[in-house]
């Protein structure tokens, strides 16, 4: 029996203002700064993220993935800080990641390629798409990971995403080939495929071409991926890709403090190419440890 364990974390929102002058906030960052002062700085803590990374390594996964929003305001010191935290724990072949909307927070960060230049060592190109960076493709022992980029430049107060036809065309071709080779196929994306009506201003945070992504994933049962995972909403949720039986898993934030939607990461347990279990590792504020829990969030003793 073949067995895989793949760890998944997301939405770390690391903040660093070291050496950043006020002139860097004369753009969309001013809204982010207000949000930081009123909300995020209290809830998202880099020290919790550091403990999570150590906990991820302690589970000894076969591979780890991250679905974006590693930084907060897309400032150079934030990318540098996260790069330091990751590089001491993950070699280039141990982690695969894709960007989120906060990693592309302002146009200058995107045009300068800050995410890709900072984290490119964890964005493998095990497929040739010419000049296209995405999707990233990781061909491992018994698994293939496809990382879609849903992050785009957006106006103030918007956090929408879009994948685009080019990435989906590449994905369709690669999925069929990987399934023919008997690989466990996993798709990473930052934005959710399904709406979350209970969230305020959901229309400002949605994946604009979600229907096209769903159609690409579910078009042909013979080329269905075995698992699709994402972040963005900072809450654990298990769903299914519409028109299919493909598991669709949303992971909570990797750095959130407090008692509600505490920081956590998932470990997906795969046996003979089938997802058989989801271990949730949830932050315990009293001890600072990440406690292994079942899918319902109940501690496993």
Mean confidence (pLDDT) of the chain: 90
Domain ranges in the chain are 3-293
Q: Is the peptide bond before 235 cis (omega within 30 degrees of 0)?
A: no
Predicted confidence at residue 119, as pLDDT, reads 98
Average confidence (pLDDT) over 92-113: 95
Instruction: Dump pLDDT digits (tens) for 117-130.
Output: 999 999 998 888 87
Q: Per residue, what are the HEC states of the chain? A: CCEEEEEEECCCCECCCCCCCHHHHCCCHHHHHHHHHHHHHHHECHHHHHHHHHHHHHCCCCEEEECCCCECCCCHHHHHHHHHHHHCCCCCCCEEECCCCCCCCCHHHHHCCHHHHHHHHHCCECCCCCCCCCCEEEECCCEEEEECCCECCCCCCCCCECCCHHHHHHHHHHHHHHHHCCCEEEEECCCCCCCCCCCCCHHHCCECCHHHHHHHHHCCHHHCCCEEEECCCCCCEEEECCCCCCEEEECCCCCECCCCCCCEEEEEEEECCEEEEEEEEEEECCCCEEEEECCCCCECC
Percent of the chain with pLDDT over 90: 75
Q: According to CATH, what is the number of the domain 3-293?
A: 3.60.21.10
Closest residue by Cα to residue 252 from 266, 240, 235: 235
d(CA 248, CA 227): 6
Instruction: Dump pLDDT digits (tens) for 18-39.
Output: 655 455 554 565 465 545 544 5
Phi–psi pair at 227, nearest 5 degrees: -160, 140
Predicted confidence at residue 20, as pLDDT, reads 53
Closest residue by Cα to residue 226 from 196, 192, 181: 181
Is the overall model pTM greater than 0.85, yes or no?
A: yes
Predicted confidence at residue 46, as pLDDT, reads 93
Predicted confidence at residue 31, as pLDDT, reads 61
Categorize the per-residue pLDDT at 194 as very low, low, confident or very high, splitting at 50, 70 and 90: very high
Predicted confidence at residue 177, as pLDDT, reads 86
Categorize the per-residue pLDDT at 56 as very low, low, confident or very high, splitting at 50, 70 and 90: very high
Beta bridge partners of 292: 281
Q: 188 and 225 in contact (C-beta within 8 Å)? A: no
């Amino acid at each position: 029996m073949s067995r895989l364990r793949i760890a998944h974390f997301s939405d770390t929102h690391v903040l660093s203002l070291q050496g950043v002058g006020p002139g860097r906030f004369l753009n969309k960052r001013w809204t982010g700064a207000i949000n930081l002062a009123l909300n995020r700085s209290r809830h998202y803590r880099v020290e919790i993220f550091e403990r999570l990374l150590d906990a991820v390594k302690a589970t000894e996964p076969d591979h780890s993935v991250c679905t974006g929003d590693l930084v907060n305001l897309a400032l150079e010191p934030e990318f540098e800080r996260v790069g330091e935290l990751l590089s001491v724990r993950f070699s280039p072949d141990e982690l695969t990641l894709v960007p989120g909307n906060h990693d592309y927070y302002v146009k200058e960060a995107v045009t300068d390629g800050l995410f890709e230049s900072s984290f490119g060592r964890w964005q493998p190109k095990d497929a040739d798409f010419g000049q296209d960076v995405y999707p990233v493709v990781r061909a491992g022992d018994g698994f293939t990971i496809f990382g879609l980029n849903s992050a785009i430049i957006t106006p103030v107060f918007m956090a929408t995403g879009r994948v685009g036809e080019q990435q989906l065309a590449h994905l369709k071709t690669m999925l069929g080939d990987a399934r023919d080779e008997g690989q466990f196929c996993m798709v990473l994306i930052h934005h959710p495929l399904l709406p979350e009506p209970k969230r305020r201003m959901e229309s400002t945070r949605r994946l604009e071409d979600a229907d096209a992504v769903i159609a690409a994933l579910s078009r042909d049962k013979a080329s269905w991926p075995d698992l699709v995972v994402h972040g963005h909403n900072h809450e654990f949720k298990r769903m299914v890709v519409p028109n299919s039986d493909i598991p669709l898993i949303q992971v909570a934030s990797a750095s959130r403090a407090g008692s509600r939607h505490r920081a956590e990461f998932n470990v997906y347990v795969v046996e003979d190419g089938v997802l058989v279990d989801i271990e949730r590792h949830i932050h315990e504020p009293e001890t600072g440890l990440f406690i292994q829990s079942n899918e319902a969030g109940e501690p496993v003793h």
